[in-house]
Structure formats: structure tokens, C-alpha cells
Amino acid sequence: MSVPQTPHMFGASATAAEVIDGVDLHGRRAVVTGASSGIGVETARALAAAGADVTLAVRNTEAGARTVARLEAELPPESGQLTVGRLDLADRSTVAAFVAAWHGPLHILVNNAGVMAPPELIRTPDGRETQFGVNHLGHFALAVGLHPALAAADGARTVSVSSIGHLFSPVIFDDLDYRFRPYDPWTSYGQSKTANVLFAVGAAERWADDGITANALMPGNIADTSLARHMDMQQVADFIAAGELALPPQKTVEQGAATSVLLAASPTVEGITGRYFEDCAQSEPVAERAGAVTGVAPYALDQDNATHLWTVSEAFIR
């Protein structure tokens, strides 16, 4: 790799291409979930441009193939190879099939795919509330399944795309699937995004001896993404008007992918693990949600919560 750039060179306006400039990933292999749209595409583009062989793990393989064709036409010839693998995070059988088909080391795993705030309660085929089931449990099963490949890479990195939305709710262990409390799309989203951070905290502790680092991040407020495809935009407007939802300034998708790429590949964060980042820097803790547009809730970094979630998640995916 090239001489590391100092972390203060990157900020909210940095793009994925700027973050990875000068980094050589030839010989490395990466998986990016949800890489057929939004920041997943830009994450895959940046990693491949640096030389990594990147697998786009997607539900719709035709859309993935179109993305690969577009990226191959745009990337320089020395870029890494792009391939497509089918992965539906709501369907554990496809997760198991993806894991079974993987051979050899895996250097970078970017858990990027997700669903945001469907207005009505939806359950996965195995009965989980869909945001918790997809955003957390599907990625948990994938990462645990790929753990031997990550351990074989001698310095692998796992990256979980969380959100400022984690401030909406901690993980409610007594009712993860909304079987007792009324369903709410935002607390549901919040607990799933908190779970993404807690996964990084738990993996950092468990997998340190394997040389694996694990971090989570907030990509930013990005309008041009399919993540919001289920959202009731009037509800969003009402939340903002009522002062219940604070949003940071908007970013482009290229800027939104920057923190994912930083954690996946930049030498500036070598050895850092179990943390939550935003705007290419570690986040400061916040004491309450009101008015917060940055920061991480203490419950999302709590080791006891991470341990409890890991135990519960293992039981769910058996």
C-alpha cells in the first residue's frame, strides 16, 4: 500500500474515490451486499478501481449483472474483477448457499444492503420483523458463515452500514419482532441500525485473535438511493415538521460511500475496531436524540448489549 494519508484529510465532503486514492488492493477479495444500487455501487466501484476482486451480493442478479457491465465499461483496465452472487438477506437459504459457494480467503466484507421504514409490519419467511431480519440477522448469518474465510485473510475487515437512525431506538430484546408492542417503522429501523453497530462491537471482541477488524458507520443523508423505496414520504415530512427527525446535510452517493470505503480499505484506520464512524471519522457519544444530527448512542457501543445480541442472534440462525 502507499504511504497512509492522515485521517484529518477526509471529512463530510470526501468521496469514495478520494478516500481510496493511492491504495493498492490487488490480490484482495471483497464482498459488498446490496451493490446494485446507491452507495453499494460506489463502494464496489472504489474497491475494484483500487484492484480488489469484488463480488456484488444482490437479490436481483439481473440488476447486478447490469451494474457490473456498467462499471466494467467505466473502470480502468487495471481494476479488479467484478462478479455477481445471489443473496436475499431475508431468506436464510440464500445466505447459506452464498456462504457454501465461497472458497478461499475474504479480505473485505461490506454489509451494505438494507431496508428502511416500511409503513406496515412485514415478516421474513422465518417470522422475524423484516428490518431486524434483513438489516441485522441476514448480515449476521452471512458474516458468521464467512468467518473462516475472513480469518484466512490475515487482516480482514468487516464493515456494517448503520445510520443516525440508530438514535430512534436501542435493541428491545423483550420484543424484537413487534409481537406485543404496536409496530412503528422508525423504532423498528432504529433497533436494526443499533444492531448493526452492536454486531461490530461483538465481532471486534470475538474475532480480534483472527486479525479481523469490525466497524460500523453512518453514510450520511443521501437522497439518491433505493433504501427509501418503502418509506411513506408524507410521514417523513411530518416527522421533520414535528421536530422528531433531524437530518444532516445531504450528500451525493459518491460522498455517502466514502466512510464505507475508508473502513474497508484505508490504511488510516488500520487496527481500529469496534467503533462507529461518520464523515470519515469516529463519532462522539450523544446523551439524547433531540436535535442530534451526528453522534452515537451509548447503548449502541455497550459491550453487554453486544454480547446479549450475539447470543440471541446465534439462536435465531441455528
Determine the Cα–Cα distance for residues 163 and 136; give it in Å rounded to an integer: 13
CA angle, corner 272, sides to 267 and 278, nearest 5?
A: 85
2 has pLDDT over 50: no
Mean pLDDT of the chain: 92
308 or 1: whose pLDDT is higher?
308
Residue 25 pLDDT = 98
Residue 286 pLDDT = 96
Q: Provide the annotated active-site residues.
A: 189
Q: Report the range of poorest mean pLDDT among 75-89, 196-210, 285-299.
A: 285-299
Nearest to 197 by CA among 177, 170, 178, 221: 170
pLDDT band at 3 (very low <50, low <70, confident <90, very high): very low
Residue 94 pLDDT = 98
251: left (phi over 0), alpha (psi -120 to 50) or beta: beta
pLDDT in tens, 187-236: 999 999 999 999 999 999 999 999 999 999 999 988 655 555 555 555 55
Hey, what's the cell of 34?
446490496
Prediction pTM value: 0.93
Residue 291 pLDDT = 82
Residue 237 pLDDT = 55
CA angle, corner 297, sides to 278 and 256, nearest 5?
A: 20
